[in-house]
Amino acid sequence: TEEPKTRWRPLPLNTVELGKLAASRLRMAPARCMHVAENLYQRGYISYPRTETDRFGPTIDVRALAQAQAPSSVWGAYA
């Protein structure tokens, strides 16, 4: 029998990296890429493209920010 294969989960792209990849791999202008991403998001196909901030300073309590979102009936399960 064949062993089950595991796949690594891709990291979310921030908007700068998304634009760079679209330009280099798809020959798409970054503005067009963001328009397409926004359209896909509005139709429910992708999560919202991340902003350029993926690291937080030591004074920001990220856990408290996430816990404040937990009561939401819309996205609380993802907090």
CA pseudo-torsion sign 57, 58, 63, 69: negative
- Count other C-beta atoms under 10 Å from residue 22's C-beta: 20
The single residue of 41, 45, 48, 78 carrying the catalytic annotation is 48
Active-site residue 48, yes or no?
Answer: yes
Write phi, then psi, for 50 (nearest 5 degrees).
Answer: -70, 155
CA pseudo-torsion sign 60, 37, 13, 69: positive
| Catalytic residue IDs | 48
